[in-house]
Structure 1
Amino acid sequence: MHMHIAGIIAEYNPFHNGHLYQLNTLRQTLRPDLILSVMSGDFLQRGEPALVSKWERTRMALQAGIDLVIELPYVFAVGKADVFARGAVSILDRLGATHLAFGSEIGRIEPFFQTLSLIENNKARYDQTLKEALHEGISYPNAHAAAYRLLSSAAAGEFVDLTQPNNSLGFHYIEAIHDRKSSMIPLTIRRQESGHSDRTFANDAPIASARSIRSYLLGGRSPANLQNKLPPYVYSSLERRNRFGGLTEWETFFPFLKYKLLSSTAEQLSLIYEMEEGIEHRLLSRIGSADSFNGFIAAVKTKRYTWARLQRLSVHVLTNTLKSEARQPAAAGEVPYLRLLGMSRKGQNYLAAIRKDLQVPLIAKIRKHRDPLLDLDIRAAKLYDFLSGNGQPPLSYSSETSHAPIRYDEKNGRFIGAGG
């Protein structure tokens, strides 16, 4: 019997009612036999530390009905949109996903295919326009959008507005599926009520963007007003973390970034991944007078260097990620292992059935495995744990190298064993 295996690429920072809506809609429309998620680890695509650890976010995903949670390695998780998409799609492909579901502002899949065809059929013109826009000092996302606008304005058809963040990421997913010649079928679900970039929310609205939820919590306010926007298990987790350990944000990490920059030469910084065009000199010239992370990024930001790009670069400085470590795997777009973070009983049974056919290692405990990309994951996770725990290991968590995958019994609604 042919199974429907639905894949979702996510950060769940944090998991909220909009994510639950996506899952419920997916269940109603596709009726999948299994739902698996490729999830970022402790640092995210826009160059931010996650609000809570990947283990807490894995627990949220399993309670919401995800059957398998696989970690997207650091190099892809903290990468440009196309790098992020290629890495995540390669994992879904390895795991036998038949469908990829993603949220978008447009909510229909056909315009994505038309947009891909438009760019593929006009590649030379698109690349030339992109190159010219970059030469003028425009950021890559805006140059990409400008090149696309030029093509779509002169063509017939219905195309996707690539200036919208979820549309843009969805386009990169579809491009990655196309480039891999994968048989995975993309599906899109329209985002409800809240925009991806919304920084505020209406108190009575059941759905708020993850960004607005983060902004609210990091503003030092009680989670109480979020109770109607989060599943109960997410609310209780965030409320507990807010009460006992605090939530993780860049400002907590900033003194360590400042130390790293002040103790480095421009030559040393030039070796850091994504440190291009001499921007290390600009970082060094601004860091001495900066007294907050947001103030620092605002002082460095230009038309060419977007906030997200500078945040990603800051993460790479903090983790000491070098070009020699990250450039080649990011360009290849292939994840050489599958790091298992969590599974339901159904997910465990599926893994047992496909394990012998997997062409890359499935990693449950990482002590036995060695890979340069995995070494980067471990380094980033240890740094996150140290910095977010004020020098102490996070409560209730083992070390990164010994933490077992979280196991969840979906029938009884409870976690099993030490990993859970």
Structure 2
Amino acid sequence: MKTCGIITEYNPFHQGHIYHIKKTKELTQCDCLIAIVSNHFTQRGLPSLLSMEDKTQLALESGCNLVIELPPCYAAQSADYFAKYAIESLHELNVDQICFGSETNNIKTLKEYSNTMDQIQKDPSLSMNQNLYTKNILPNDILGIQYIKNCEKNNINPLCISRNESFKSATQTRKEYFNGIAQFNDQYFLKNQTWDYYYTYLRKFLILTDTNVLSNYFLVNEGIEYRLKENAKKHHDWESFLSASISKTYTKARIQRTCMFILLQITKEQIQENNQFNLVIVSGFDSIGQEFLKGKHVITKFKELPKFLQDIELKCQYLCFDTFKARKVIYYDR
């Protein structure tokens, strides 16, 4: 069975994502299209507007055959690690290829960028995005470069399609939605999935927790815990706190990711001990996906998750929904 993977966020799921699915199937002629999807929090450290169940259902309805999950501890990281963990999971399924959206839409050019990056001396104090500004490389291409690198390590063929700018971006969709403008499929949106909502809990935790404890959490480096704690004391709303916390070293996305790891109390030691994602967490499938999974080692139940991921899932569900809902794998009957 010819397979293709797509690495997605669906925050939220919009018409550009339907286009991505359709064009990927046309380009690859794959028998089974597998989407790995960020759950709860996304790559830039943003709370996800859609539940994993709704993301899965929408992806299956739009043409995916199998949907698997990328937990927030692996999703909310810089482009290099985000790509690493997503590709590791897809590699466990022995996917033949992946297909991603690209502003450049040229694998050869992206490989050349990658080779140039490997040769230049990077400033470790800056995020990857800042290091690449001199090349004017756009967001999807930054991810694409990392996908290609990790595909080479895992014997997966990378393909890309041109990013279609006629579709509204997820960023614009979120902005308009929170400004009261109706959006495509917004009946699925979870209105409390914002940092404005979570900041109440984060602020109290930052104020009440000793900096020696805060420094143990993942991504809390170079004394940022002192800055975050002082800003939490001064600022009562998320946007003010975020603006005050951004610096040359800590971008907006980095602050959001750092705050997520603090909020979920995920330590550096835990990430170090779980620095590979050689798992396949199944969220849903159709008959083709079900047939493809036969004989493969996958996770379909909460109790099958490692203790580390069980704890994170529990925290996220209580934060998002104030309750725990047992994992349910969605079957989509075409």
Q: TM > 0.5 between the two?
A: yes
User: Whole-Å Cα distance in 2 between the matches of residues 115 and 140 of structure 1?
Assistant: 13
Q: Tell me which of 282, 298, 302 is aligned to 1:366.
A: 302
**How many Å apart are 1:370 and its aligned residue?**
4.8
* 1:273–1:321 contact (8 Å) kept in structure 2: yes
SS of 2:281's equivalent in the other structure is: strand
Choose the corresponding residue for 1:309, options 216, 231, 254.
Answer: 254
1:404 aligns with 2:328: yes
Contact 2:88 2:278 in 1 (8 A): no
Which digits, 9 at most, give the CA deviation of each residue in 1:218-265, with x for residues without a partner?
22x141xx3xxx4xxxx2xx22x46xx635211111101111111101
**1:13-412 residue pairs with structure 2 within 5 A?**
13-120=11-118, 122=119, 126=120, 129-130=121-122, 133-134=123-124, 138-143=126-131, 145=132, 149=134, 161=135, 163-178=137-152, 180=153, 182-193=154-165, 207-219=167-179, 221-223=180-182, 226=183, 230=184, 235=185, 238-239=186-187, 241=188, 246-330=191-275, 334-352=276-294, 354-355=295-296, 361-367=297-303, 369-386=304-321, 391=322, 393=323, 399-400=324-325, 402-410=326-334
Following superposition, the deviation at residue 119 of structure 1 comes to 4.1
| Aligned-partner SS, 2:106 | coil
1:25-44 alpha-carbon deviations (Å, 9 max, x no partner): 12222211010011111111
Q: Deviations over 1:278-325 (max 9, x none)?
A: 110111111112121111010111111100000001111110111111
8 A contact 1:42–1:53 mirrored in 2: yes
Moved more, 93-102 or 22-31: 22-31
Q: 1:176 Cα shift? A: 1.1
Please say if residues 6 and 100 of structure 2, whose CA atoms lie closer than 8 Å, have aligned partners that are also in contact: yes
Residues 193 and 320, structure 2, Cα contact 8 Å, conserved in 1? no
Provide closer, same or farther for how the CA distance between residues 47 and 96 of structure 1 changes in structure 2, counting only shifts above 3 A. Answer: same
Which letter maps to 2:199? F
User: In the alignment, residue 20 of structure 2 is paired with which amino acid?
Assistant: Q
Do the aligned partners of 2:219 and 2:268 also contact (CA within 8 Å) in 1? yes
Tell me the CA shift for residue 140 of structure 1: 4.1
**Equivalent position SS for 2:40:** coil
In 2, the alpha carbon distance for the partners of 1:38 and 1:172 equals 16
Shift of 1:56: 1.2
Q: Unaligned stretches of 5+ in structure 1? A: 150-160, 195-206, 356-360, 394-398, 411-420
State the shift of 1:163 in Å: 2.9
Q: 2:73 and 2:191 mapped to 1: Cα distance? A: 27
Could you tell me how far apart the structure 1 residues matched to 2:315 and 2:58 are? 21
* Larger Cα-atom Rg: 1
Q: Extract unaligned runs of 5+ from structure 2.
A: none
Q: In 1, distance between residues paired with 2:79 and 2:273?
A: 16
> In the alignment, does 2:22 pair up with 1:11?
no
How much has 1:345 moved relative to structure 2? Answer: 1.3
Distance of aligned partners of 1:69 and 1:380 in 2 relative to their CA distance in 1, 3 Å threshold: farther
Q: Say which SS state the counterpart of residue 188 (structure 1) adopts.
A: strand
Amino acid at match of 1:339: I
Secondary structure at the residue paired with 2:191? coil
TM-score using structure 1 length? 0.75
Report if aligned partners of 1:91, 1:335 keep a CA contact under 8 Å in 2.
yes
Q: Could you say if the C-alpha distance between residues 383 and 83 of structure 1 is closer, same or farther in structure 2, counting changes exceeding 3 Å? A: farther
What SS does the corresponding residue of 2:332 show, helix, strand or coil?
strand
Shift of 1:6: 0.9
Report how far residue 376 of structure 1 moved.
Answer: 4.2
The Cα shift of 1:385 comes to: 2.7
Corresponding residue for residue 154 of structure 1: none
Q: Deviations over 1:122-158 (max 9, x none)?
A: 3xxx2xx21xx34xx5444313x16xx5xxxxxxxxx
TM-score for the superposition, normalised by structure 2: 0.94
Paired residue type of 2:310: D
Question: Which letter does structure 1 place at the counterpart of 2:22?
Answer: N
Q: Is the 8 A contact 2:78 2:128 kept in 1?
A: no
- Distance, in Å, in 2 between the alignment partners of 1:101 and 1:43 is 22
**Which residue identity lines up with residue 164 of structure 2 in the other structure?**
Q
Secondary structure, aligned partner of 2:222:
coil
CA displacement at 1:74 relative to structure 2 = 2.4
Q: CA deviation at 1:93?
A: 1.0
C-alpha distance in structure 2 between counterparts of 1:370 and 1:32, whole Å: 29
